[in-house]
Amino acid sequence: MCGIVGYVGKNDAKPILLNGLKKLEYRGYDSAGIAIRNNLELPVIVKAEGKLVNLVEKTNKLNIFTTSGVGHSRWATHGKSNETNAHPHHSDDYNVIGVHNGIIENYQELKDKLTNKKYKFYSETDTEVMIKLIDYYYKKYKLGPIDAINKAIVRARGSYALALMFKDYPNQVWFAKNGSPLIVAKSDDSAYLASDVPAILNYTNKVYYVNDLECGVLEAGKVTFYDLNGDDITDKKELVTIDWKADSADLGGFEYYMDKEIAEQPEAIQNTINAYLTAENKLDFHSIGIKQEYLNDLDEIYIFACGSAYHAGIVAQHVIEDLAGVNVRVELASEFKYRNYKMNPKSLAIVISQSGETKDTYEAMLKAKANGIKTLAICNVKGSTITRDADFNAYTYAGPEIAVATTKAYSCQLVVLYLFALFLARTKYRINKENYYKLIDEVKQIPALVKETIDRKENVQRLSARFTEKTNVFFIGRGIDYAVCMEGALKLKEITYINSNAYAAGELKHGTISLIQKGVATIAIATQPTLIEKTVSNMVEVKSRDGSVVALTNDGNNVEQSSKYQLYIPKINPMFAASVAIIPLQQLSYYVCLNKGLNPDKPRNLAKSVTVE
C-alpha cells in the first residue's frame, strides 16, 4: 500500500527521497510528499496530490541542500485524497514530523485524548494523530525519542510503519513498526529506510528487516535498533543480502514493467527450477528443513493465499492430489482467518505471497501455527515478514516485480508448487523412479515452452482489438483450466476495468448461461485431454446463443467448429499446462489495456502489496 522512504547521509536528500518514491510507485498511491529538516532553521514539507511528477515539479523549485529527510506516497484510508491529508504530517510546533504506512485502529480514542491536551488537528488522518501522540510523550516525559516512540506504539492498536524526525535531533531519522513492512540499510556514509527493497537497490543490497515493536535511528553510515525496554539490540539484528541487481527494477528499454515482466518469465522460471534441482537431477526440499519422516506422515495440506497466489494454489491442489495422493484444501486467507474448523494435526499449511507481507496471508499462517500446524512459505522476498515466521521457506526467484498485475511471480509460484508436488509424491512412493525423472524433465521444458508462447504474441495482439469495447467477458474451463480462467479473468479486470468473470464450465447451465447473448465474449480454456470434449460442448452451448467464443487450446486440438477465434499454445503435460496457458491471457490483458489508453503498471485503486486488512 503506502510507500515510505528515509535518508540520512552526506548527499542531498531530495533526489534520493524522490527516487525511492518512484521505485515504490507500484505499491499504489494518490498523493506524495517529502520533509527535510537537518540543517534548516525551519523544516520544509512539500506535498502534492496525484502523480509523483507533481511532487517532483514542486521540489525542483527548492534551492536547498539538506542531508536528511523522509518521504511518503499515500494510499488514502483515513481521509480523502488531497494535499492536506497527504504525508508528511507534523506536530503543532513542528517538533515531530513523520510519515506512516498502515492503519491506527484506535485513532479516534487517541485523538480525543490529545484534543483534551489542547492539540489541534488539521487533517482527517490517523497519521497526524500518531505524530502528535509521539510529540505528547516526548514533551511530557522529556526522555528522548526512544521513550516517546515506545510509549506511543504501546498505546496504538493496528498496523504501522513510521519514519520520524525530531527537532532536537536534526541529523537523524527515527523508525518503528508493527505489522507493516519496513526495511533499513546502511552504506559507508549513509543510512536508508523504505517500505520495500527496490527503493534502495541503487545504493545498497544489504538490509535489515525491522521486527514488530522495534524502533531505531538512522545516522550517517549507522543504524541502531532498540526494543520496547529501550535496550540497544543492534548486535542481534541480521544483515540480509538481497540478490537482486539494481537494474532489475528498471524498465530496461521496455515501455511498461508488465511487458518487461511477461518477457522475463522464461528466465525467472528457469532460475526457480535451478534452485531446487541437484546436480543429479533430483529435487531437494530437505535442504529447507523439511524432514522425510514428517512428509511420510503427512495426509492433508492447506493452502492459504490471496489473489493470483490463491489461483496458483488452486492449480497446486489438482497437481498435488493427482501426484502425491494427499488431500488439499485451498482457502482464501482473508476468509480462513475468520473460520473455525478443526485442522488435521498431520497436515502442512502452505502460504503463498509474492511480497511476503500480505497481511491476510500472514494472519492465516499465524492461525495455522497456533493450531500446531507446520507452515511452508512460498515467497519471492527473503527476510520478509512471512518468511521470518514460517517453519520452512521455498523461495521463488522472479527478481523484483514492479507491475501491480503479477506475471512472473505467479509463474514461479506455479513451478515451485509443481516441484514440491513431485518431491512429495516421490517421498511417499506414489510415483516410481522412472516417472519421477520423466516429470522432472517435463518441468524443465517449461521455460522454453513459455518462451515459445510469448513469441506467438501477434495472434494475441490482433485479437485484443476485438476486446477493447467489451464491457463483460466470461472465462470458462474445467479442472486446472478453471484455475487458469480465474487468473485470466483477474488479469483482464484489474488492468482493463472490463467486468470479467471465471466460471467452471459445467456451471454454465446452473445460471450463468442466462447472461449469454449476441456479442458477449467467452474465453474457453481447453488444455486437459480428459475434459476437452466436455469443454467443447460448453463452447457449443455459448455459440448457439450467439455468444462469441475464443478457444485457448493446445496445438493440434480441433476447436474451429466450436469457436469463432482460436489461440494455440504448445503441447505440454496437462498437469503443467497452467504455466503456458496463462501467457496469452497475460498478453491479452496487456494489449487491451494499451488499446484503451490505460497504464498497465498502475491500475486504479490497486496496490502491489496489500499490507492492511
Q: Which residue numbers are catalytic?
A: 2, 608
Encode 411-425: b = buried (16+ Cβ within 10 Å), e = exposed: bbbbbbbbbbbbbbb
- 521 has which bridge partners? 473, 548
The number of beta carbons lying within 10 Å of the beta carbon of residue 573 is 15
- 500 has which bridge partners? 473
CA distance 29 to 52: 9
Name the residue among 576, 573, 592, 596 with its Cα closest to residue 584: 592
27 is written with which cell numbers?
Answer: 505499491
CA distance 444 to 270: 8
CA distance 36 to 269: 42
213 secondary structure, DSSP code: T
Cα dihedral 258, 263, 264, 265 in deg (nearest 10)? 100
CA distance 420 to 442: 14
Place of cell 511530557: 140
CA distance 47 to 86: 6
CA distance 164 to 178: 15
524 is written with which cell numbers?
Answer: 474457453
